Structure 1
């Protein structure tokens, strides 16, 4: 039997607050979604002025990152991104219509080597979404390191 870590609302809110602070710092209205390891939404925040499409897109990015245990932009990274034409996962986003994202802004939440959820960011360009996602992951890393947990706080996560 395996014991599993679970992401809870307290940690999700901490991550969202850190992401919002970064978004305000870089002056980009973002939407931030946090999901559990099953891809189910724990928390979501859409900043004033953020696009109305942000909630659906950020949830899809978080779902994809958690479910596939990798940052979403790695699906489309040339030349060998698996979702690019003629590669093994080309068209994978069609398997989960509206739920699977293969562009930048989704990151798995990895604690002690296990994916326990995902964070999805929507509203900025790729660089801005990465900055906001990294800030959210870094906040979780700092919070959990006090208790001895190891969190990966980088954008290019491939489990």
Structure 2
């Protein structure tokens, strides 16, 4: 047996706000999804003017990052990204149709070496999505330092 940590809504809202602030700072309209360890959305926000398609995409990125416990862009990073043609997971994006994303914008939230959730970001280019995701993860680390562990 082991202790399982869970994101709370309060945790998710802190992460969401930080992501939104970074998106505003860099001038991109994003959709941001915070999911729990089971890849289910806890919080979702489509910024004013963000693409309508961003909702499903952000949710898919969070689903993939939480469920597969890795940054989504790592599936396609050359030369050995597992989802690249000829590699072991080529075609994995066809699993869970519409819910599995293998491009930039999904980031696991990790605490005590456990993936306890994920952030999915959609609306910018790869660098913008990474910047917004990094701000979200930094906010989570700051929250843990300030208030302690997520709910056990």
Q: TM-score range by the shorter chain?
A: over 0.9
Matches within 5 A, 1:7-46: 7-46=7-46
Q: CA deviation at 1:146?
A: 2.7
Q: CA deviation at 1:148?
A: 5.0
Number of aligned residue pairs: give it: 150
CA distance, structure 2, for counterparts of residue 13 and residue 148 of structure 1: 16
Per-residue deviation, residues 106-147 of structure 1 (Å, max 9, x unmatched) = 000001110001100000000000000110110110010134
CA distance, structure 1, for counterparts of residue 147 and residue 5 of structure 2: 13
RMSD across aligned positions (CA): 1.2
Matches within 5 A, 1:53-64: 53-64=53-64
User: Does structure 1 residue 86 correspond to structure 2 residue 86?
Assistant: yes
CA distance, structure 2, for counterparts of residue 46 and residue 146 of structure 1: 28
| Unmatched segments (≥5 aa) in structure 2 | none
Partner of 1:107: 107
Partner of 2:131: 131
Higher relative contact order (CA 8 A, sep 6+): 2
Per-residue deviation, residues 11-50 of structure 1 (Å, max 9, x unmatched) = 1000010000000000100000011111111010000010
CA distance, structure 1, for counterparts of residue 40 and residue 140 of structure 2: 19
Q: CA deviation at 1:57?
A: 0.2
CA distance, structure 1, for counterparts of residue 31 and residue 99 of structure 2: 16
Decide whether aligned partners of structure 1 residues 114 and 62 sit closer, same or farther in structure 2, where only a CA change above 3 A counts.
Answer: same
User: Does structure 1 residue 67 correspond to structure 2 residue 102?
Assistant: no
* Secondary structure at the counterpart of residue 70 of structure 1: coil
Where do 4+ consecutive residues of structure 1 move more than 2 Å?
146-149
| Unmatched segments (≥5 aa) in structure 1 | 150-159
Give me the TM-score of the superposition, normalised by structure 2. Answer: 0.96
* Secondary structure at the counterpart of residue 108 of structure 1: strand
CA distance, structure 1, for counterparts of residue 2 and residue 75 of structure 2: 29
User: Does structure 1 residue 76 correspond to structure 2 residue 109?
Assistant: no
* Secondary structure at the counterpart of residue 67 of structure 2: helix
